[in-house]
Chain A
Amino acid sequence: MKIVFLDHFGCFASVVLAAYCTGILSPKAVKTKDILDLPYFADVESWQPGKLYFLGKDQAGNVYYTLGAGFYSNLIKNVVWPDLKKLGEIKEKIVLYDVNSLNSLFLIYLEILSKGKLRKITKYLWVYWFTYVKKIGQ
């Protein structure tokens, strides 16, 4: 089965959640550096929606991806994907999860306005957001 986490850029909450699912990140002891070292986390190339990243496999053989869907991850998951699946006769089992609500709206707007040029700074804000505000994994 393919599992796709959708968020705004495909490189923040979606990457962290996919890392938990694949076992790259252990929920027990998450440090700032652990999140910063994740593959594709705060990827400098992803400052607009549309990017698809392969994150890895879990022990059950599920394959994890992340996809940037802008503010419309909910629309993509609930409306567009069922229609496209039918139209493209896609038989493979693919599950989409909208995780955009775990992202910070303020940081998303900061990324949009700066066109990703502040990524060297904002990536620390994102890590702070996930570890101390959202407390993902705890």
Chain B
Amino acid sequence: MKIIYNCYGGAHSSVTAAAIHLQMLPETRKPSAAELLNLPYYDAQVGKDHGRIRFFGFDSRGNQIYITGKKNLGVFYEEIMYNLLFLGGDKQEQENFVFINTMPYVNIWMVIGGFLSRRLGWKALGRPLVIYGTKQAYWKFIHLINLVKDKYIKP
């Protein structure tokens, strides 16, 4: 199965969710700033990376985990992706894909911090805000991953 976590820029919430899924971040405590910044792609993607589907790793069941930025396509991203896969003709392959929208778990700190750091390039100001926001929303991301694993990953 291919699980694609998607958010606006593919730099914060999708990376955090994918990292929790792959157990690169702890499930019982909030991560430190260093742990977040050490994640691949965390606060690293820029405008030209939007839309690129990046491989993040294999989970314990062998599922492939990806992240991507979909800009303001919102919930329509999933619909467009499934329609394009439908055109590909392979129904089995279509069912093999799962798109997880991480945007509902993004808080105002992540939005402001992400904008300052990624769009304006003010890392010194944006990074602390986005890290604070990620920590604030962390239990929600844990909950999301539990839901994803419960729904899509068969034991």
- A87-B53, A88-B93 known; A70+B83 contact, CB < 8 A: no
B97 partner residues in chain A, CB cutoff 8 A = 88
Q: Chain B nearest CB: distance from A100 CB in Å? A: 14
Are A70 and B51 interface neighbours, CB within 8 A?
no
A27 partner residues in chain B, CB cutoff 8 A = none
Q: Chain B nearest CB: distance from A49 CB in Å? A: 4
Q: Chain B nearest CB: distance from A130 CB in Å? A: 24
Contact with B along A87-108 (1 / 0, CB 8 A): 1111010100000000000000
How many residues belonging to A are interface residues under a CB distance threshold of 8 Å? 29
Binds B, one of A15-23, A37-45, A76-84, A115-123: A76-84
Say whether A75 faces chain B, with CB atoms less than 8 Å apart: yes
Q: Chain A nearest CB: distance from B8 CB in Å? A: 12
Q: Report how far A71 CA is from B71 CA in the complex, Å.
A: 10
Chain B interface size band reads 20 to 34
B81 partner residues in chain A, CB cutoff 8 A = 80, 84
Say whether A69 faces chain B, with CB atoms less than 8 Å apart: yes
State the majority secondary structure of interface residues on A: mixed
Q: Report how far A80 CA is from B50 CA in the complex, Å.
A: 9
Q: Which of B68, B76, B89, B90 has the most CB of A within 10 A?
A: B76
State the majority secondary structure of interface residues on B: helix
A79 partner residues in chain B, CB cutoff 8 A = 50-52
Are A90 and B51 interface neighbours, CB within 8 A?
no
A67 partner residues in chain B, CB cutoff 8 A = 80, 83-84
Say whether A2 faces chain B, with CB atoms less than 8 Å apart: yes
A81 touches which of B66, B71, B79, B84 (Cβ 8 Å): B84
On A, residues with C-beta under 8 Å from B are 2, 4, 48-52, 65, 67-72, 75-76, 78-81, 83-85, 87-90, 92, 94
On B, residues with C-beta under 8 Å from A are 2, 50-53, 66, 68, 70-73, 76, 79-81, 83-90, 93-94, 97
The 8 closest A-B pairs by CB, nearest first: A79-B51, A50-B79, A90-B88, A52-B83, A83-B53, A50-B76, A49-B76, A80-B51
